[in-house]
Amino acid sequence: MNELRASVKNVQKFLVQAIMHQDILIDDNFFLTVLSSQSALAKFSDSSKNIIGMSLNSFIKHANTIAGGFKGVDDLRLELKSIINIRINKKPRKSTKRSRVAEAAELKRLLALQDIALHEQVNIIQRLLKLAKQLASDELPNRKAYYDSEIKLIHEVLYRQKGALDGRQTIT
């Protein structure tokens, strides 16, 4: 795995961790600048996290080789940016009908995302059961290759869902 691809994976990992554990970010204003655009995120570098700044085109190229692709990384960027904006602008507000409707819509959106994640987990379990049954069968010609391809697909789905998981769990 080359250095730039590893850096993009580290950016993705950092974004997921920051979303799951929002206390990680110390300087909200700095990270708002980093998250302000796709280009700013691509140029972000942090040697302690093994993140190297690069051009947006390089970032997109390498992001498309990891689970979730560039769109997944950009969605994480936008979500974290939103979280930080809310935290910075956190002032007690009077509840209005409009704010309650917006909150209800957001809760419905989150529920739909959880529903999708649950269906994907059920699909993973079904795939694992099928894999176990086929590996137990003597009729499978190349068990190792079949196992490797199925496990790779399962890991990709689980990695995509990592944001819905605990965040402290690691998938190996």
Residues 11, 84 within the same domain: yes
Q: How many domains does the chain contain in total?
A: 2
Q: Are 163 and 76 in contact (CB under 8 A)?
A: yes
Residues 81, 10 within the same domain: yes
Residues 103, 128 within the same domain: yes
Residues 123, 140 within the same domain: yes
Q: Which domain holds residue 57?
A: 3-88
Quote the pLDDT of residue 47: 87
What is the reported pTM? 0.52
Q: From CA 6, how far away is CA 99, in angstroms rounded?
A: 41
pLDDT, one tens digit for every residue, the chain (172 residues): 588 888 999 998 888 888 887 766 666 677 788 888 989 999 999 888 889 899 999 999 988 888 778 888 888 888 888 888 877 776 556 778 888 898 889 889 888 888 887 888 888 888 888 888 777 777 778 878 888 888 888 877 777 666 544 443 333 3
Tokens (6 digits) for 4: 């730039």
Residues 66, 105 within the same domain: no
Interaxial angle between packed helices 56-63 and 3-20, expressed in degrees from 0 to 180 and rounded to the nearest 10: 80
Measure the CA dihedral 51/52/54/58, to 10°: -60
Q: Which residue has the tokens 């068990």?
A: 143
Residues 38, 105 within the same domain: no
SS3 readout for 76-105: HHHHHHHHHHHHHCCCCCCCCHHHHHHHHH
Residues 127, 107 within the same domain: yes
Quote the pLDDT of residue 161: 66
Quote the pLDDT of residue 168: 37
Residue 172 lies in a domain: no
